[in-house]
A and B are shown apart, each in its own frame.
Chain A
């Protein structure tokens, strides 16, 4: 029973990862996170009706509910996993070193490839795309209502956890 369960879980996560990889390869400009959410929800019925294939017999209604929720939870794990290569500054630094000759870089070479200018420029552009702020031609930044709500939430959260310095 345990082996069958583990195989079912691995099959479901592999199916979702393969679908996300395929869609991302075809549709390169979209958000991978939106793709993951769509894939998880759209393929949940497939998972539920694959009960005979996964477990060798049709599941009772409670089992089908658990299977659907398990499938969605696995989509959630894929979502979290994706934030690592997609967002992590630390992992990007490791990749820059991997791609460098002799796997070594001076600090100035590293910052020339992936430095504060690039990072902040890109994050500001993403915050602008997300309608959190506007960037004027002269570089002035103005928070929009969504950005102010975000700022308020981060400020409250940091106060709640007594975080005094970050990043």
Chain B
């Protein structure tokens, strides 16, 4: 029983971290159709915010609240300076954000140095039978659930969410109502960036923080969002669950790297069968 619970928590942790990391991109892609190749770097910046604030004596948890704010602002700047000129040009957006990704990694390397930083993992261990489960892993699972719930709330129960979803379906209509679609896009992109920053901050205590941190996560995130499809919640959650399970299973048997390979393989097969991603399976063909 304890063994089952511990394993279950292990898998839940893998799924939760995947969902947490992918949520930001899922929002940006689902709401605006933009694939932001710098999303990994937003995650990295969130992690660095925590590292930086901890190094300056701030409480870890305060750093975690600070990170989404900082990265949200970065996202805002990026949207204003680059993304907004490229709406409707999907491949060009990808190219430009790719350039941004390279530039950000280089900038952070130059400013903060290439060496690995770290933050201690808080919360100790929780005993389950004779197994010890990291308390922080439980926190990550809770944080992922909370982020999804928060995002769900924002998009379905707030005025902003309603307008944003309206703009996604029909931008002209929203404009006719007196709301400026470019502002919606700007805020949505900032929100997606903030989510990435939060994810980075939460994952920071679990991994060495280096400028190329984003690259370690971004492969998984892209795969999840591509398999998930355009439906932000149903897609990301189902894809996260499926791919997270496979990843943790294979990682357990061999190494995390092959866990990613297994994810990729599974994703390729899935996409061959269901080109619209999991979202397409949920919808019926007209």
- Do A and B truly interact? no
Q: Which residues of A contact B (CB under 8 A)?
A: none
